[in-house]
């Protein structure tokens, strides 16, 4: 996993521990997008794909990616947009979205704002 990987706690389950995911991003070999992965605690990959930050169309250097866990792990999933994958939350308030959903940044940010009212 990339050096910027973070642990995201999953919703609690009875008698469970180490329940969650590792999420981390680096720069794809093309250099034009970030490549992010979501890995379960047991090491199984749940999702991987090409990402772009909402505020730019430029990949972020791995050393400059500052990921943070979502306020609620249920908010990270992109199923409501009929797409597999997760949202990458950045410490500067920006989001990383799968490159095919780049045009949905405004809609995703609006829904997250509404969820926190």
Helix-strand-coil split of the chain, %, nearest 5: 25, 35, 45
pLDDT along the chain (117 residues), means of 10: 90 64 95 96 92 94 95 78 80 94 90 78
How many angstroms separate the CA atoms of 45 and 66, rounded? 21
What's the pTM value of the predicted model, to 2 decimals?
Answer: 0.86
Give residue 74's pLDDT: 79
């Amino acid at each position: 996993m990339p050096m910027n990987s973070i642990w995201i706690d999953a919703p609690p389950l009875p008698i469970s521990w180490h329940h969650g995911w590792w999420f981390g991003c680096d720069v794809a070999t093309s250099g034009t997008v970030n490549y992010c992965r979501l890995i379960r605690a047991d090491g199984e990959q749940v999702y991987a794909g090409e990402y772009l930050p909402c505020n730019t169309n430029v990949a972020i250097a791995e050393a400059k990616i500052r990921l943070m866990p979502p306020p609620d792990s249920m908010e990270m999933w992109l199923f409501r947009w009929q797409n597999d994958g997760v949202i990458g939350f950045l410490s500067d308030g920006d989001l990383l979205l799968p490159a095919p959903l780049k045009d949905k940044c405004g809609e995703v940010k609006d829904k997250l704002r509404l969820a926190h009212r």
